[in-house]
Structure 1
Amino acid sequence: MELLTIMLLLAAILQTRISNLRLAINIILAQSVLVAMACAIIGIQTNEVHMYVAALLTAVIKVGLIPYALYRVLPYLREEREIVTKEIMRANFSTFSALLSIILAYGLISPTFMPGVAVVSALPAAVSLVLIGLLFIMTRRQAVMQIIGLITMENGLYLFGLSITQGLPLIIEMGIFLDVLVAVVVLVILTYRLKLSLESTDISLLKKLKG
Protein backbone atom coordinates (compact mmCIF):
# COMPACT_ATOMS: atom_id res chain seq x y z
CA MET A 1 0.00 0.00 0.00
CA GLU A 2 2.89 2.36 0.76
CA LEU A 3 4.23 1.89 -2.78
CA LEU A 4 0.84 2.78 -4.25
CA THR A 5 0.60 5.97 -2.20
CA ILE A 6 4.10 7.00 -3.32
CA MET A 7 3.16 6.39 -6.96
CA LEU A 8 -0.06 8.39 -6.51
CA LEU A 9 1.86 11.34 -5.12
CA LEU A 10 4.45 11.15 -7.89
CA ALA A 11 1.66 11.19 -10.49
CA ALA A 12 0.08 14.21 -8.79
CA ILE A 13 3.40 16.08 -8.73
CA LEU A 14 3.99 15.22 -12.38
CA GLN A 15 0.60 16.72 -13.21
CA THR A 16 1.83 20.13 -12.09
CA ARG A 17 4.54 20.01 -14.79
CA ILE A 18 2.25 19.07 -17.67
CA SER A 19 0.68 21.44 -20.20
CA ASN A 20 -0.24 18.94 -22.94
CA LEU A 21 -3.86 17.85 -22.52
CA ARG A 22 -3.48 14.29 -23.78
CA LEU A 23 -0.54 13.64 -21.49
CA ALA A 24 -2.47 15.12 -18.55
CA ILE A 25 -5.37 12.73 -19.23
CA ASN A 26 -2.93 9.82 -19.42
CA ILE A 27 -1.60 10.73 -15.98
CA ILE A 28 -5.06 11.01 -14.40
CA LEU A 29 -5.86 7.63 -16.00
CA ALA A 30 -2.78 6.09 -14.33
CA GLN A 31 -3.79 7.73 -11.05
CA SER A 32 -7.25 6.16 -11.25
CA VAL A 33 -5.68 2.75 -11.96
CA LEU A 34 -3.66 3.10 -8.74
CA VAL A 35 -6.82 3.99 -6.77
CA ALA A 36 -8.56 0.88 -8.17
CA MET A 37 -5.54 -1.21 -7.13
CA ALA A 38 -5.74 0.30 -3.63
CA CYS A 39 -9.39 -0.82 -3.41
CA ALA A 40 -8.43 -4.33 -4.49
CA ILE A 41 -5.56 -4.50 -1.97
CA ILE A 42 -7.82 -3.44 0.90
CA GLY A 43 -10.34 -6.02 -0.30
CA ILE A 44 -7.65 -8.72 -0.10
CA GLN A 45 -6.59 -7.55 3.36
CA THR A 46 -10.12 -7.36 4.78
CA ASN A 47 -11.77 -10.08 2.66
CA GLU A 48 -14.72 -7.72 2.08
CA VAL A 49 -16.65 -8.48 -1.11
CA HIS A 50 -17.89 -4.90 -1.51
CA MET A 51 -14.29 -3.69 -1.81
CA TYR A 52 -13.84 -5.86 -4.90
CA VAL A 53 -17.03 -4.35 -6.31
CA ALA A 54 -15.71 -0.86 -5.52
CA ALA A 55 -12.46 -1.69 -7.30
CA LEU A 56 -14.43 -2.90 -10.33
CA LEU A 57 -16.58 0.26 -10.35
CA THR A 58 -13.45 2.41 -10.08
CA ALA A 59 -11.92 0.58 -13.04
CA VAL A 60 -15.07 0.85 -15.17
CA ILE A 61 -15.92 4.49 -14.42
CA LYS A 62 -12.63 6.23 -13.60
CA VAL A 63 -10.33 4.15 -15.76
CA GLY A 64 -12.78 3.50 -18.57
CA LEU A 65 -15.71 5.87 -19.04
CA ILE A 66 -14.30 9.16 -17.74
CA PRO A 67 -11.00 9.02 -19.71
CA TYR A 68 -12.99 7.92 -22.76
CA ALA A 69 -15.18 11.02 -22.47
CA LEU A 70 -12.11 13.24 -22.11
CA TYR A 71 -10.35 11.60 -25.07
CA ARG A 72 -13.46 12.10 -27.22
CA VAL A 73 -13.39 15.87 -26.71
CA LEU A 74 -9.63 16.21 -27.39
CA PRO A 75 -9.87 16.26 -31.22
CA TYR A 76 -12.05 19.36 -31.01
CA LEU A 77 -9.44 21.18 -28.92
CA ARG A 78 -6.74 20.98 -31.61
CA GLU A 79 -4.05 20.04 -29.11
CA GLU A 80 -4.57 23.14 -26.98
CA ARG A 81 -1.99 23.63 -24.26
CA GLU A 82 -2.43 25.15 -20.84
CA ILE A 83 -1.70 28.87 -21.07
CA VAL A 84 0.66 30.11 -18.38
CA THR A 85 0.59 33.86 -17.76
CA LYS A 86 1.50 36.22 -14.95
CA GLU A 87 -1.91 35.65 -13.38
CA ILE A 88 -1.45 31.88 -13.29
CA MET A 89 1.08 29.98 -11.20
CA ARG A 90 4.10 29.01 -13.22
CA ALA A 91 5.08 25.36 -13.33
CA ASN A 92 7.92 25.65 -10.81
CA PHE A 93 5.81 27.44 -8.24
CA SER A 94 2.91 25.06 -8.85
CA THR A 95 5.19 22.08 -8.22
CA PHE A 96 6.57 23.77 -5.11
CA SER A 97 3.01 24.29 -3.82
CA ALA A 98 2.21 20.61 -4.43
CA LEU A 99 5.35 19.52 -2.56
CA LEU A 100 4.49 21.90 0.28
CA SER A 101 1.00 20.39 0.48
CA ILE A 102 2.49 16.90 0.76
CA ILE A 103 4.95 18.00 3.46
CA LEU A 104 2.18 19.67 5.48
CA ALA A 105 -0.10 16.64 5.15
CA TYR A 106 2.57 14.21 6.34
CA GLY A 107 3.71 16.64 9.04
CA LEU A 108 0.27 17.27 10.51
CA ILE A 109 -1.20 13.76 10.23
CA SER A 110 0.52 11.46 12.70
CA PRO A 111 -0.33 7.75 13.16
CA THR A 112 0.00 8.11 16.95
CA PHE A 113 -2.99 10.47 17.06
CA MET A 114 -5.19 8.24 14.90
CA PRO A 115 -5.16 4.74 16.38
CA GLY A 116 -8.51 3.79 14.85
CA VAL A 117 -7.64 4.60 11.26
CA ALA A 118 -7.65 1.55 9.01
CA VAL A 119 -4.83 2.50 6.64
CA VAL A 120 -2.78 5.23 8.28
CA SER A 121 -0.09 5.30 5.59
CA ALA A 122 -2.60 6.34 2.91
CA LEU A 123 -4.26 9.11 4.91
CA PRO A 124 -1.62 11.86 4.35
CA ALA A 125 -1.47 10.93 0.66
CA ALA A 126 -5.25 11.27 0.42
CA VAL A 127 -5.17 14.75 1.98
CA SER A 128 -2.31 15.70 -0.34
CA LEU A 129 -4.30 14.65 -3.41
CA VAL A 130 -7.26 16.75 -2.28
CA LEU A 131 -5.04 19.81 -1.82
CA ILE A 132 -3.26 19.31 -5.15
CA GLY A 133 -6.59 18.85 -6.95
CA LEU A 134 -7.86 22.06 -5.35
CA LEU A 135 -4.65 23.80 -6.45
CA PHE A 136 -5.35 22.66 -10.01
CA ILE A 137 -8.88 24.03 -9.98
CA MET A 138 -7.74 27.36 -8.56
CA THR A 139 -4.76 27.97 -10.83
CA ARG A 140 -5.47 26.35 -14.21
CA ARG A 141 -7.49 28.20 -16.83
CA GLN A 142 -7.94 25.34 -19.30
CA ALA A 143 -11.31 23.62 -18.87
CA VAL A 144 -9.96 20.08 -19.30
CA MET A 145 -7.25 20.79 -16.71
CA GLN A 146 -9.93 21.87 -14.25
CA ILE A 147 -11.81 18.63 -14.88
CA ILE A 148 -8.58 16.75 -14.12
CA GLY A 149 -8.24 18.76 -10.91
CA LEU A 150 -11.77 17.74 -9.93
CA ILE A 151 -10.99 14.05 -10.57
CA THR A 152 -7.76 14.36 -8.54
CA MET A 153 -9.73 15.82 -5.63
CA GLU A 154 -12.30 13.03 -5.86
CA ASN A 155 -9.55 10.39 -5.93
CA GLY A 156 -8.10 11.95 -2.80
CA LEU A 157 -11.46 12.02 -1.04
CA TYR A 158 -12.13 8.41 -2.03
CA LEU A 159 -8.71 7.33 -0.77
CA PHE A 160 -9.44 9.26 2.43
CA GLY A 161 -12.63 7.24 2.89
CA LEU A 162 -10.72 4.01 2.29
CA SER A 163 -8.11 5.03 4.86
CA ILE A 164 -10.65 5.90 7.55
CA THR A 165 -13.31 3.23 7.14
CA GLN A 166 -11.92 0.61 4.71
CA GLY A 167 -14.69 1.59 2.32
CA LEU A 168 -18.15 3.09 2.58
CA PRO A 169 -21.32 1.00 2.14
CA LEU A 170 -21.63 -0.15 -1.46
CA ILE A 171 -24.82 1.82 -2.19
CA ILE A 172 -23.09 5.06 -1.11
CA GLU A 173 -20.02 4.29 -3.22
CA MET A 174 -22.21 3.61 -6.24
CA GLY A 175 -23.95 6.95 -5.72
CA ILE A 176 -20.61 8.76 -5.49
CA PHE A 177 -19.32 7.11 -8.67
CA LEU A 178 -22.52 8.02 -10.51
CA ASP A 179 -22.31 11.65 -9.34
CA VAL A 180 -18.70 11.93 -10.48
CA LEU A 181 -19.47 10.35 -13.85
CA VAL A 182 -22.43 12.67 -14.49
CA ALA A 183 -20.40 15.71 -13.39
CA VAL A 184 -17.51 14.88 -15.72
CA VAL A 185 -19.80 14.17 -18.68
CA VAL A 186 -21.60 17.49 -18.15
CA LEU A 187 -18.27 19.32 -17.89
CA VAL A 188 -17.00 17.65 -21.07
CA ILE A 189 -20.13 18.78 -22.92
CA LEU A 190 -19.71 22.32 -21.58
CA THR A 191 -16.05 22.26 -22.65
CA TYR A 192 -17.09 21.28 -26.16
CA ARG A 193 -19.69 24.06 -26.27
CA LEU A 194 -17.13 26.54 -24.94
CA LYS A 195 -14.76 25.58 -27.74
CA LEU A 196 -17.48 26.06 -30.37
CA SER A 197 -18.61 29.41 -28.98
CA LEU A 198 -15.29 31.06 -28.09
CA GLU A 199 -12.85 28.96 -30.16
CA SER A 200 -10.92 28.26 -26.97
CA THR A 201 -11.45 26.48 -23.67
CA ASP A 202 -9.63 29.12 -21.63
CA ILE A 203 -12.21 29.88 -18.93
CA SER A 204 -10.86 33.40 -18.45
CA LEU A 205 -12.60 34.25 -21.73
CA LEU A 206 -15.93 33.82 -19.95
CA LYS A 207 -15.34 37.26 -18.44
CA LYS A 208 -16.37 38.64 -21.81
CA LEU A 209 -19.91 37.40 -21.14
CA LYS A 210 -20.36 39.80 -18.23
CA GLY A 211 -22.98 42.46 -18.80
Structure 2
Amino acid sequence: MTLLTVLLLAGAVLLTRVSSLRTAIGILGFQSVIVALACLIIGLKTGEIHMYIAAILTAVIKVGLIAYALWKVASQLKHEREIANFNFSFLMAILSIIASYGFVSKELPNVSGDTLGAAISLTVIGLLLIMARRQAIMQVVGLITMENGLYLLGLSITNGLPLIIELGIFFDILVAVLVLVILTHRLKHSFETTDTSILNELKG
Protein backbone atom coordinates (compact mmCIF):
# COMPACT_ATOMS: atom_id res chain seq x y z
CA MET A 1 0.00 0.00 0.00
CA THR A 2 2.94 2.34 0.58
CA LEU A 3 3.74 2.47 -3.13
CA LEU A 4 0.09 3.14 -3.96
CA THR A 5 -0.13 6.02 -1.48
CA VAL A 6 3.05 7.55 -2.90
CA LEU A 7 1.61 7.33 -6.43
CA LEU A 8 -1.70 8.82 -5.26
CA LEU A 9 -0.01 11.78 -3.59
CA ALA A 10 2.32 12.31 -6.54
CA GLY A 11 -0.67 12.44 -8.89
CA ALA A 12 -2.57 14.81 -6.62
CA VAL A 13 0.40 17.18 -6.31
CA LEU A 14 0.91 17.04 -10.07
CA LEU A 15 -2.70 18.17 -10.55
CA THR A 16 -1.81 21.46 -8.88
CA ARG A 17 0.77 22.12 -11.63
CA VAL A 18 -1.38 21.17 -14.64
CA SER A 19 -3.02 23.69 -16.96
CA SER A 20 -4.18 21.27 -19.68
CA LEU A 21 -7.69 19.91 -19.05
CA ARG A 22 -6.99 16.63 -20.85
CA THR A 23 -3.82 16.04 -18.84
CA ALA A 24 -5.75 16.65 -15.61
CA ILE A 25 -8.39 14.12 -16.66
CA GLY A 26 -5.69 11.59 -17.46
CA ILE A 27 -4.11 12.06 -14.02
CA LEU A 28 -7.56 11.71 -12.43
CA GLY A 29 -8.09 8.42 -14.28
CA PHE A 30 -4.71 7.16 -13.05
CA GLN A 31 -5.64 8.22 -9.53
CA SER A 32 -8.90 6.28 -9.71
CA VAL A 33 -7.02 3.19 -10.95
CA ILE A 34 -4.87 3.39 -7.81
CA VAL A 35 -7.98 3.58 -5.62
CA ALA A 36 -9.39 0.51 -7.41
CA LEU A 37 -6.12 -1.34 -6.76
CA ALA A 38 -6.33 -0.35 -3.08
CA CYS A 39 -9.81 -1.92 -2.90
CA LEU A 40 -8.46 -5.04 -4.58
CA ILE A 41 -5.54 -5.32 -2.15
CA ILE A 42 -7.84 -4.94 0.86
CA GLY A 43 -10.11 -7.59 -0.67
CA LEU A 44 -7.16 -9.96 -0.98
CA LYS A 45 -6.16 -9.33 2.64
CA THR A 46 -9.62 -9.59 4.19
CA GLY A 47 -11.31 -12.00 1.81
CA GLU A 48 -14.35 -9.70 1.64
CA ILE A 49 -16.22 -10.20 -1.65
CA HIS A 50 -17.70 -6.69 -1.61
CA MET A 51 -14.19 -5.22 -1.83
CA TYR A 52 -13.77 -6.91 -5.22
CA ILE A 53 -17.12 -5.43 -6.22
CA ALA A 54 -15.94 -2.00 -5.04
CA ALA A 55 -12.76 -2.35 -7.11
CA ILE A 56 -14.80 -3.22 -10.21
CA LEU A 57 -17.26 -0.36 -9.62
CA THR A 58 -14.40 2.10 -9.13
CA ALA A 59 -12.83 1.00 -12.41
CA VAL A 60 -16.10 1.07 -14.35
CA ILE A 61 -17.58 4.29 -12.94
CA LYS A 62 -14.57 6.49 -12.19
CA VAL A 63 -12.00 5.23 -14.68
CA GLY A 64 -14.58 4.45 -17.35
CA LEU A 65 -17.79 6.47 -17.30
CA ILE A 66 -16.68 9.62 -15.47
CA ALA A 67 -13.33 9.92 -17.22
CA TYR A 68 -15.00 9.33 -20.60
CA ALA A 69 -17.67 11.97 -19.93
CA LEU A 70 -15.06 14.52 -18.87
CA TRP A 71 -12.86 13.67 -21.85
CA LYS A 72 -15.76 14.18 -24.27
CA VAL A 73 -16.40 17.64 -22.83
CA ALA A 74 -12.68 18.52 -22.78
CA SER A 75 -12.35 17.47 -26.43
CA GLN A 76 -14.75 20.29 -27.30
CA LEU A 77 -12.71 22.79 -25.28
CA LYS A 78 -9.49 22.73 -27.32
CA HIS A 79 -8.57 26.32 -26.49
CA GLU A 80 -9.57 26.25 -22.83
CA ARG A 81 -6.72 26.05 -20.31
CA GLU A 82 -6.51 26.63 -16.60
CA ILE A 83 -4.92 29.91 -15.56
CA ALA A 84 -4.05 29.97 -11.88
CA ASN A 85 -1.28 30.56 -9.38
CA PHE A 86 0.27 27.12 -9.78
CA ASN A 87 3.20 27.80 -7.45
CA PHE A 88 0.85 28.72 -4.60
CA SER A 89 -1.32 25.64 -5.21
CA PHE A 90 1.75 23.42 -5.31
CA LEU A 91 3.07 24.87 -2.05
CA MET A 92 -0.31 24.46 -0.34
CA ALA A 93 -0.50 20.82 -1.53
CA ILE A 94 2.93 20.05 -0.06
CA LEU A 95 2.03 21.78 3.20
CA SER A 96 -1.25 19.84 3.40
CA ILE A 97 0.62 16.55 3.03
CA ILE A 98 3.08 17.50 5.77
CA ALA A 99 0.27 18.69 8.06
CA SER A 100 -1.85 15.57 7.41
CA TYR A 101 0.93 13.14 8.23
CA GLY A 102 1.94 15.25 11.22
CA PHE A 103 -1.64 15.19 12.53
CA VAL A 104 -1.93 11.42 12.09
CA SER A 105 1.39 10.67 13.78
CA LYS A 106 0.63 13.00 16.71
CA GLU A 107 -3.08 12.47 17.32
CA LEU A 108 -3.45 8.87 16.11
CA PRO A 109 -0.16 7.18 16.99
CA ASN A 110 -1.69 3.69 17.10
CA VAL A 111 -3.16 3.94 13.58
CA SER A 112 -1.27 3.01 10.43
CA GLY A 113 -0.39 6.47 9.16
CA ASP A 114 0.47 5.79 5.50
CA THR A 115 -3.00 5.31 4.05
CA LEU A 116 -4.80 7.59 6.52
CA GLY A 117 -2.36 10.45 5.97
CA ALA A 118 -2.64 10.05 2.20
CA ALA A 119 -6.44 10.01 2.43
CA ILE A 120 -6.56 13.25 4.41
CA SER A 121 -4.01 14.87 2.07
CA LEU A 122 -5.98 13.82 -0.99
CA THR A 123 -9.19 15.26 0.47
CA VAL A 124 -7.55 18.59 1.27
CA ILE A 125 -5.86 18.84 -2.15
CA GLY A 126 -9.19 18.09 -3.85
CA LEU A 127 -10.83 20.86 -1.85
CA LEU A 128 -7.96 23.18 -2.79
CA LEU A 129 -8.51 22.45 -6.49
CA ILE A 130 -12.22 23.20 -6.19
CA MET A 131 -11.53 26.53 -4.49
CA ALA A 132 -8.51 27.68 -6.50
CA ARG A 133 -9.41 26.63 -10.05
CA ARG A 134 -11.62 28.61 -12.43
CA GLN A 135 -12.28 26.08 -15.19
CA ALA A 136 -15.39 23.98 -14.54
CA ILE A 137 -13.65 20.78 -15.66
CA MET A 138 -10.80 21.36 -13.20
CA GLN A 139 -13.32 21.90 -10.42
CA VAL A 140 -14.94 18.58 -11.27
CA VAL A 141 -11.48 16.98 -11.17
CA GLY A 142 -11.05 18.51 -7.71
CA LEU A 143 -14.41 17.07 -6.64
CA ILE A 144 -13.46 13.54 -7.72
CA THR A 145 -10.04 13.90 -6.09
CA MET A 146 -11.71 14.94 -2.85
CA GLU A 147 -14.16 12.03 -3.10
CA ASN A 148 -11.27 9.61 -3.72
CA GLY A 149 -9.65 10.94 -0.56
CA LEU A 150 -12.83 10.49 1.49
CA TYR A 151 -13.32 6.99 0.09
CA LEU A 152 -9.71 6.08 0.90
CA LEU A 153 -10.27 7.52 4.38
CA GLY A 154 -13.14 5.10 4.88
CA LEU A 155 -11.03 2.21 3.63
CA SER A 156 -8.11 3.07 5.90
CA ILE A 157 -10.31 3.25 9.00
CA THR A 158 -12.71 0.33 8.41
CA ASN A 159 -10.84 -1.88 5.90
CA GLY A 160 -13.90 -1.73 3.69
CA LEU A 161 -17.26 0.00 3.94
CA PRO A 162 -20.52 -1.98 3.77
CA LEU A 163 -21.55 -2.65 0.18
CA ILE A 164 -24.79 -0.65 0.38
CA ILE A 165 -22.83 2.44 1.49
CA GLU A 166 -20.30 1.98 -1.32
CA LEU A 167 -23.10 1.69 -3.87
CA GLY A 168 -24.69 4.87 -2.52
CA ILE A 169 -21.37 6.74 -2.74
CA PHE A 170 -20.76 5.63 -6.32
CA PHE A 171 -24.30 6.54 -7.38
CA ASP A 172 -24.11 9.97 -5.75
CA ILE A 173 -20.78 10.87 -7.31
CA LEU A 174 -21.86 9.58 -10.73
CA VAL A 175 -25.04 11.70 -10.69
CA ALA A 176 -23.13 14.74 -9.41
CA VAL A 177 -20.51 14.48 -12.15
CA LEU A 178 -23.08 13.96 -14.89
CA VAL A 179 -24.97 17.07 -13.72
CA LEU A 180 -21.72 19.06 -13.64
CA VAL A 181 -20.79 17.85 -17.11
CA ILE A 182 -24.18 19.01 -18.45
CA LEU A 183 -23.80 22.38 -16.71
CA THR A 184 -20.28 22.73 -18.12
CA HIS A 185 -21.61 22.08 -21.62
CA ARG A 186 -24.34 24.68 -21.12
CA LEU A 187 -21.79 27.15 -19.76
CA LYS A 188 -19.69 26.74 -22.88
CA HIS A 189 -22.74 27.06 -25.13
CA SER A 190 -23.99 30.22 -23.41
CA PHE A 191 -20.75 32.10 -22.67
CA GLU A 192 -18.23 30.52 -25.11
CA THR A 193 -16.04 29.60 -22.14
CA THR A 194 -16.07 27.30 -19.12
CA ASP A 195 -14.36 29.82 -16.86
CA THR A 196 -16.72 29.91 -13.87
CA SER A 197 -15.46 33.34 -12.80
CA ILE A 198 -17.72 34.90 -15.44
CA LEU A 199 -20.70 33.83 -13.33
CA ASN A 200 -19.77 36.62 -10.93
CA GLU A 201 -21.07 39.03 -13.54
CA LEU A 202 -24.55 37.57 -13.13
CA LYS A 203 -24.89 38.86 -9.59
CA GLY A 204 -27.82 41.23 -9.53
- What's the TM-score, normalizing by structure 2? 0.97
**In percent, how many aligned pairs have the same letter?**
64
Equivalent residues in 2 for 1:122-141 (5 A)? 122-141=115-134
Deviation at residue 165 of structure 1 after TM alignment: 0.3
Q: Which residue in 1 is equivalent to 2:201?
A: 208
Deviation at residue 111 of structure 1 after TM alignment: 8.0
Q: Is 2:173 aligned against 1:180?
A: yes
Deviation at residue 138 of structure 1 after TM alignment: 0.7
Q: 2:87 aligns with which of 76, 92, 97?
A: 92
Task: State the superposition RMSD in angstroms.
Answer: 1.3
Deviation at residue 73 of structure 1 after TM alignment: 0.8
CA distance in structure 2 between the partners assigned to 1:112 and 1:202 by the alignment:
40
CA distance in structure 1 between the partners assigned to 2:61 and 2:181 by the alignment:
15
Equivalent residues in 2 for 1:123-202 (5 A)? 123-202=116-195
Deviation at residue 112 of structure 1 after TM alignment: 8.0
Alpha-carbon contact 2:101-2:113 (below 8 Å) kept: no
Q: Which residue in 2 is equivalent to 1:23?
A: 23
DSSP-derived class of the 1:5 partner = helix
CA distance in structure 1 between the partners assigned to 2:108 and 2:127 by the alignment:
26
Q: Is 2:7 aligned against 1:14?
A: no
Alpha-carbon contact 1:21-1:79 (below 8 Å) kept: no
DSSP-derived class of the 1:109 partner = helix
DSSP-derived class of the 2:193 partner = coil
Give the partner amino acid of 1:39: C
Would the alpha carbon gap of residues 111 and 47 (structure 1) be closer, same or farther in structure 2, given more than 3 Å must change?
Answer: farther
CA distance in structure 2 between the partners assigned to 1:40 and 1:163 by the alignment:
13
Q: Is 2:46 aligned against 1:51?
A: no
Deviation at residue 83 of structure 1 after TM alignment: 2.0
Deviation at residue 43 of structure 1 after TM alignment: 0.5
DSSP-derived class of the 2:76 partner = helix
Alpha-carbon contact 1:43-1:49 (below 8 Å) kept: yes
List, as ranges, runs of 4+ consecutive aligned residues in structure 1 with deviation greater than 2 Å: 111-115
Deviation at residue 167 of structure 1 after TM alignment: 1.2
Give the partner amino acid of 2:117: P
Would the alpha carbon gap of residues 39 and 111 (structure 1) be closer, same or farther in structure 2, given more than 3 Å must change?
Answer: farther
Q: Which residue in 2 is equivalent to 1:87?
A: none
Q: Which runs of 5+ in 2 are unaligned?
A: none
Equivalent residues in 2 for 1:68-87 (5 A)? 68-84=68-84
CA distance in structure 2 between the partners assigned to 1:34 and 1:103 by the alignment:
21
